[in-house]
């Protein structure tokens, strides 16, 4: 059997590393043909030596010389072709030499590569939720037209996918399947509640980037860690679920479950609830989507029920986590509103990580952007990918000046 040829966009990140860990267990089944990173050449070089891709993409042209210098130490036959710059790297995602693309770039920066992979009809393992939130229906349209297979590796969506009846699961990303079903009642997205679930609200203003990035259950990149702390991550996931499974906001429920053992659930009309359980380890959803509809070993430890102190559930606290409410509002408003929310969030999270604004300024930035762009966004979702990118740039510029003004007004220390 020919091996499945894999490209990993965002290979040096947290999802990229988990994906390579799974792939390394199955060399007879998968080959690693393309690796893409933004600028970190040291981890990229280690991956090149180990996995021998034919091509590597480096977004940051300023790091090209550093990469070439390392590659020069390899025998000529082991040196991959090097592609540099965002547009050229994004094009690699449509390369006929790839069967499967793992979309693991963080943020809307992943839109180009995710789009190109779908347009080329590939199997796309989607971690990059921001691009689906920003581009919405357009992205599903391109996937359907090209006959692509869009499989979620975000753990909640992968869990829901696993809980759906097999005949319906097989068309995910190609039709609004749950929305049309008279058997499925609701999707239940579980949330850990992040590191501040029990922190007194009065202390939220003093939260630092390192505190926000110390997630209790999952080890992830810094942007998604901050999103988990504000619960914007769950907000993005509500929109991601609405898009992937074709359901309205009223049929999506968010449930805080601090142990992160149940990764999400589906409620059926007969009262049954089907859940997917396991250790909180991204290698499970990644392995599932790599091999689907088969199953392969992932390296994840078996779930030890005896070691569980219990499974707990509570409703999310709207005072602590206004970003979650804003995401439901953005989804209900429709049109370009999810794009506005997502772009403002990326800018605000970056400003928070650079200590230019405070933690609670993040939801304030979202609210401000959503109010400011309400008229424009209601006019409808952008109809081309170029229009999506232009709208994203416009919101970012506005949000950047909002953050500047907020930052100088509050003058955070050190």
111-150: which residues touch ligand NAD (CB under 6 A)?
Answer: 127-130
Quick one: how far is CA 243 from the chain centroid?
Answer: 13
Closest CA to 41 of 78, 76, 72: 72
Closer residue to ligand NAD in complex, CB, 184/391: 391
Question: Is residue 95 involved in binding ligand NAD (CB under 6 A)?
Answer: no
Query: Alpha-carbon distance 358 to 402, whole Å?
Result: 13
Query: Alpha-carbon distance 118 to 243, whole Å?
Result: 15
Closer residue to Mg ion in complex, CB, 131/155: 155
Measured CA angle at 389 (ends 117, 341), to 5 deg:
105
Closer residue to Mg ion in complex, CB, 128/181: 128
Question: Is residue 159 involved in binding ligand NAD (CB under 6 A)?
Answer: no
Residue 320 binds which entry of Mg ion, ligand NAD, none, CB below 5-8 Å type-dependent:
none
Question: Is residue 104 involved in binding ligand NAD (CB under 6 A)?
Answer: yes
Beta-carbon-side half-sphere exposure of residue 18 (alpha carbons within 13 Å)? 27
Question: Is residue 276 involved in binding Mg ion (CB under 5 A)?
Answer: no
Sole window of 82-90, 149-157, 254-262, 400-408 interacting with Mg ion (rule: CB under 5 A): 149-157
270-309: which residues touch ligand NAD (CB under 6 A)?
Answer: 282
Closer residue to Mg ion in complex, CB, 34/124: 124
Residue 245 near residue 375 (C-beta atoms within 8 A): no
Residue of 6, 22, 37, 184 interacting with ligand NAD (CB under 6 A): 37
Sole window of 100-108, 147-155, 176-184, 243-251 interacting with Mg ion (rule: CB under 5 A): 147-155
Residue 358 near residue 205 (C-beta atoms within 8 A): yes
Query: Alpha-carbon distance 30 to 46, whole Å?
Result: 19
Report cis status (omega within 30 of 0) of the bond before 293.
yes
Query: Does 221 appear as a known binding residue?
Result: yes
Beta strands in 269-338 (DSSP E): 273-277
Extract the annotated binding site for Mn(2+).
Answer: 154, 156, 237
List residues forming the annotated binding site: 12-15, 128-130, 154-156, 192, 215, 221, 228, 233-234, 237
């Amino acid at each position: 059997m020919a091996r499945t040829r894999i490209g990993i966009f965002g290979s040096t990140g947290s999802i990229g590393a988990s994906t390579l860990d799974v792939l390394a267990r199955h060399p007879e089944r998968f080959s690693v043909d393309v690796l893409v990173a933004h600028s970190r050449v040291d981890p990229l070089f280690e991956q090149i030596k180990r996995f021998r891709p034919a091509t590597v993409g480096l977004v940051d042209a300023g790091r090209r010389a550093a990469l070439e210098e390392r590659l020069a130490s390899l025998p000529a036959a082991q040196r991959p072709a090097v592609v540099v710059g965002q547009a050229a790297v994004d094009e690699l995602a449509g390369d006929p030499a790839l069967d499967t693309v793992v979309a693991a770039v963080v943020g809307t920066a992943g839109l180009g590569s995710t789009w190109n992979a779908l347009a080329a009809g590939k199997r796309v393992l989607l971690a990059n939720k921001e691009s689906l939130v920003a581009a919405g229906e357009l992205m599903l349209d391109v996937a359907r037209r090209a006959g692509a297979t869009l499989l979620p590796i975000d753990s909640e969506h992968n869990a829901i996918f696993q809980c759906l009846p097999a005949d319906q699961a097989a068309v995910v990303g190609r039709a609004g399947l749950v929305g049309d079903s008279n058997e499925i009642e609701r999707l239940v997205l579980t949330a850990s509640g992040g590191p501040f679930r029990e922190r007194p609200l009065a202390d939220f203003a003093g939260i630092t980037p390192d505190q926000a990035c110390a997630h209790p259950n999952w080890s992830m990149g810094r942007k998604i860690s901050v999103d988990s702390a504000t619960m914007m991550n769950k907000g993005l996931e509500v929109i991601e679920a609405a898009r992937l499974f074709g359901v309205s906001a009223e049929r999506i429920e968010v449930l805080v479950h601090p142990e992160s053992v149940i990764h999400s659930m589906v409620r059926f009309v007969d009262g049954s609830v089907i859940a997917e359980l396991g250790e909180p380890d991204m290698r499970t959803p990644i392995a599932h989507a790599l091999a689907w509809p088969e199953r392969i070993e992932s390296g994840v430890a078996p779930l030890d029920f005896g070691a569980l102190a219990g499974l707990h559930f509570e409703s999310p606290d709207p005072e602590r986590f206004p970003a979650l409410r804003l995401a439901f509002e953005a989804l209900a408003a429709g049109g370009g509103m999810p794009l506005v929310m997502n772009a403002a969030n990326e800018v605000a999270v970056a400003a928070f990580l650079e200590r230019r604004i405070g933690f609670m300024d993040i939801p304030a930035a979202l609210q401000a952007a959503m109010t400011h762009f309400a008229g424009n966004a209601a006019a409808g979702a952008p109809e081309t990918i170029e229009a999506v990118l232009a709208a994203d740039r416009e919101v970012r510029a506005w949000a950047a000046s909002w953050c500047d003004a907020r930052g100088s007004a509050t003058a955070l220390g050190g």
